[in-house]
Amino acid sequence: MRGRTEEIREGRIMQATSRGSSRFPAFEIEGRAGASLKHSHIEAILADGAPVGFFEVHAENYMGAGGAPHAILERIRRDYPVLLHGVCMSIGAPQPLDTEHLERFNRLVERYEPAIVSEHLAWSTHGDVFYNDLLPLPYTRETLTTVCEHIDQVQERIARPILLENPSTYVAFDESDYTETDFIREIAGRTGCGLLLDVNNVFVSAINHGFSALQYLATFPLEEVGEIHLAGHREQTDDEGDRLLIDSHDGPVADAVWKLYEIVLGRCGPIPTLIEWDGDIPDWRTLKGEAQAAQAILERHAARSATGHGYANAVG
Amino acid sequence: MPWADRRHTDFAAAFAAPLLDPERPTPHGVNGPGAKAARSRYGVYRNNVTISLIDALSDTFPAVERIVGRDFFREMARLFVRAHPPTSPLLFEYGHALADFIDRFEPAATMPWLGDVARIERAWLDAYHAPDAEPLRPEALGAIGPESLGSAVFQPHPALHILRSSHPAVTIFSANRRQEPVGRISERAGEDALITRPHLEVFVRILPPGGAAFLMALRSGQPLADAAAHAFDAEPQFDLAANIAGMLEAGAFASVAINPPSHSEESLR
């Protein structure tokens, strides 16, 4: 039982970014940009040849028993790497993980052999109520312990490390005694999980909490990053009439976020990058255009960097 | 609960309680940067929770929304979300209680069929996500000799749903699930719905007289002869051949087996 967790912590079991299997051909996601898979795009994608490097799906959308969702994902999986992004594991909650949900999650990992498995530093269930949002947690010694226990439990069950995503938040907790980047660094060190750096989340949180996004990135453990997320956000105002950014995933990536992305790649080299788009879904051409913009930046940085970093390059 | 003794349990309990309760104040110890207030900031979470759950209901119940209009639907959904928040992280499972909620929802009392339309929409989504199974092939039934047919027992297809309504709920459902404008609906009689998904597409049909009694008896494991007798009792005009052809075409069942000979063969007469 402890053996596998130890192996993950020591980095001896890695994300299977390019591992082929008996059921799926080996796909390479290193240095590639991908897009969120939306069912309204499926015909356009299939007519389009090989338009992006990979597709990422929200795990919960494929937790039904059968029918069209699995038929679509099976079809996509024949031709593309698939990344599995969990949204509702509630890793940051103080209460125990829902083991039924973990079993469903594991079945998807086994069925689709995703190139990357990721989840959030957040919680969404309290008691038996599911709130359908990525809710924030205080960064304390106690929450650190629980989060690490939960990640160990997930990694143990799926027999591979996950990437943990940095959150976007609108409030902070008085009781926090770690900075977010220190908290995340501790988690990665203790559990052996990798990190999913959502650059839009960094920008959103930086504006909302009045810190410098560059300073955040300077203290973020970039060497653990195996995937990057880019997405659009919206603007509203807080009680004082100041700008408050909402992590809405319903529009194009903002210029400031592209700039931060360039800075991250400049430090880390090319890392698989997802364009997330979950609301006001545009036509496929628009979403593909965003992924191609990311791909162009990745290729510029690939040409520049001779050596790779992070999980995506660690498995050959 | 084993985790209740941990100190930081408090943060989730305190943070969660006001999410769906607008009367409660912003949780203690939650702030903006510096001396900033948290009211509108915490309000983002309140908004995300409520709006996303209303949106989920809107996705599952588009005909209900079209019938009552967007504003009515969202106000009704807001009250429903507060009274019946989801208990599963799978949003496609949410809303099984909405039809009963509508039946008791005073402002919808002038639309007594609305709850049944919601039941059909909820069953539609259950069928959409049901386990995959090949529907029963007509040849499999044809291979059974006439002497054994009465004792044939059918295994329901996992996507099968049968709903009985004393209103023209299927006609109203169908008219409001199409793109075209909804004309005047002249049907008044009750309709029974047969919902199936033989492959990937979900189908909703109106069952002929006696059809619901017949299929529900078959679904519960009664042999064909007993189910037919039951349907004739319920509806003297019951057409056995047409109903068998209809259930095969719809893909209501997955397989058929012959029960050991029993009294059921007598009841065929």
Whether the per-residue pLDDT at A39 is higher than 70: the answer is yes
A230 forms bridges with which residues in the sheet?
Answer: A275
Structure tokens given for A297: 């930046």
Neighbours of A236 (CB within 10 A): 12
Contact A41, A287 (CB under 8 A): yes
pLDDT at A28: 86
Q: Choose among A60, A138, A238: nearest Cβ to B41.
A: A238
- Answer yes or no: do A244 and B86 touch at CB < 8 A: no
- Answer yes or no: do A66 and B37 touch at CB < 8 A: no
Structure tokens given for A76: 């996509």
Task: Report which of residues A21 and B263 the model is more confident about.
Answer: A21
The answer, for A3 touching chain B at a CB cutoff of 8 Å, is no
pLDDT at B260: 66
Tell me how far apart the alpha carbons of residues A29 and A45 are, in angstroms, rounded to a whole number: 18
**CB < 8 Å to A174, chain B:** 29-31
Dmax over Cα atoms in chain A, in whole Å? 58
Q: What percentage of chain A carries pLDDT values higher than 70?
A: 93
| Closest residue of chain B to A68, computed from CA coordinates | B200
Burial environment of residue B5 by CB neighbours within 10 A (0 to 12, 13 to 18, 19 or more): exposed
Among A170, A208, A235, most B C-beta atoms within 10 A, so best to mutate, is A170
Averaged pLDDT for residues B116-134? 98
Q: Choose among A66, A131, A137: nearest Cβ to B131.
A: A66
Q: What are the phi and psi torsion angles at B237 (to 5°)?
A: -85, 10
**CB < 8 Å to B8, chain A:** 94, 138, 140, 142-143, 146, 175
Structure tokens given for B186: 């002249």
**Cα distances (Å, whole numbers) of residue A127 to B13, B80, B100:** 8, 19, 24
Burial environment of residue B200 by CB neighbours within 10 A (0 to 12, 13 to 18, 19 or more): middle
Contact A160, A13 (CB under 8 A): yes
pLDDT at B44: 94
Tell me how far apart the alpha carbons of residues A305 and A269 are, in angstroms, rounded to a whole number: 6
Tell me how far apart the alpha carbons of residues A164 and A314 are, in angstroms, rounded to a whole number: 17
pLDDT at B6: 47
Averaged pLDDT for residues A190-199? 97
Closest Cα in chain A, distance from residue B183 (Å): 28
Residue A190 CB contacts under 8 Å (≥ 6 apart), including other chains: A9, A144, A148
Contact A246, B46 (CB under 8 A): no
Whether the per-residue pLDDT at B230 is higher than 80: the answer is yes
Please write the tens of the pLDDT for every residue from A123-172: 999 999 999 999 999 999 999 999 999 999 999 999 999 999 999 999 99
Whether the per-residue pLDDT at A292 is higher than 80: the answer is yes
A235 forms bridges with which residues in the sheet?
Answer: A245
Q: What mean pLDDT value characterizes chain A?
A: 91
Which value does ipTM take for this structure?
0.91
pLDDT at A311: 45
**CB < 8 Å to B33, chain A:** 172, 208-211
Task: Report which of residues B180 and B269 the model is more confident about.
Answer: B180
Contact B65, B73 (CB under 8 A): yes
Q: What percentage of chain B carries pLDDT values higher than 90?
A: 84
Q: Read off the pLDDT band of A7 (50, 70, 90).
A: confident
Contact A86, A117 (CB under 8 A): yes
- In A203-242, the residues whose Cβ lies within 8 Å of chain B are 208-211, 236-240, 242
Please write the tens of the pLDDT for every residue from B91-118: 999 999 999 999 999 999 999 999 999 9
Among candidate residues B82, B78, B76, B79, the one with its CA nearest the CA of residue B19? B82
Among candidate residues B89, B18, B88, B2, the one with its CA nearest the CA of residue A95? B2
Closest Cα in chain A, distance from residue B154 (Å): 21
The answer, for A63 touching chain B at a CB cutoff of 8 Å, is yes
pLDDT at B265: 45
Whether the per-residue pLDDT at B184 is higher than 90: the answer is no
Closest Cα in chain A, distance from residue B98 (Å): 17
Contact A194, A311 (CB under 8 A): yes
Tell me how far apart the alpha carbons of residues A246 and A169 are, in angstroms, rounded to a whole number: 9
Tell me how far apart the alpha carbons of residues A125 and A90 are, in angstroms, rounded to a whole number: 6
Q: Which amino acid is at B58?
A: S
**CB < 8 Å to A244, chain B:** 40-41, 44
Whether the per-residue pLDDT at B268 is higher than 70: the answer is no
Structure tokens given for A17: 């970014």
Tell me how far apart the alpha carbons of residues A263 and A285 are, in angstroms, rounded to a whole number: 27
Please write the tens of the pLDDT for every residue from A94-135: 999 999 999 999 999 999 999 999 999 999 999 999 999 999
The answer, for A67 touching chain B at a CB cutoff of 8 Å, is yes
Among candidate residues A126, A122, A138, the one with its CA nearest the CA of residue A201? A122
pLDDT at B22: 87
pLDDT at B121: 98
The answer, for B48 touching chain A at a CB cutoff of 8 Å, is yes
- Answer yes or no: do A66 and B9 touch at CB < 8 A: no
pLDDT at B201: 97
Concatenated DSSP letters for B54-103?
HHHHHHH-HHHHHHH-HHHHHHHHHHHHHHS--SSS-GGGTTTTHHHHHH
**CB < 8 Å to A98, chain B:** 89
Residue A133 CB contacts under 8 Å (≥ 6 apart), including other chains: A124, B45, B48, B49, B52
Contact B119, B98 (CB under 8 A): no
Q: Read off the pLDDT band of B261 (50, 70, 90).
A: low
Give A17-24 contacts, CB < 8 A, sequence gap 24+: A17/A115, A17/A116, A17/A226, A17/A272, A17/A311, A17/A312, A17/A315, A18/A115, A18/A315, A18/A316, A19/A113, A19/A315, A21/A113, A23/A113, A24/A77, A24/A78, A24/A113
pLDDT at A13: 75
**Span of A24-38, A201-215, B61-75, B194-208 with lowest mean pLDDT:** A24-38
Where do we find the tokens 């994902």? A73
Tell me how far apart the alpha carbons of residues B156 and B154 are, in angstroms, rounded to a whole number: 6
- Strand intervals (E) in chain A: 33-36, 55-58, 82-85, 117-120, 123-126, 129-135, 163-165, 172-173, 194-198, 225-230, 234-237, 243-246, 273-275
Whether the per-residue pLDDT at B1 is higher than 50: the answer is no
Closest Cα in chain A, distance from residue B236 (Å): 37
Whether the per-residue pLDDT at A312 is higher than 60: the answer is no
A164 forms bridges with which residues in the sheet?
Answer: A119, A195
Q: Which amino acid is at A91?
A: I
DSSP state of A168: P
- Answer yes or no: do B19 and A237 touch at CB < 8 A: no
pLDDT at A316: 30
pTM of the model as a whole: 0.92
Whether the per-residue pLDDT at A277 is higher than 70: the answer is yes
Structure tokens given for B136: 């029963």
pLDDT at B259: 75
Please write the tens of the pLDDT for every residue from B3-49: 444 455 589 999 999 999 989 999 999 999 887 889 999 999 999 99
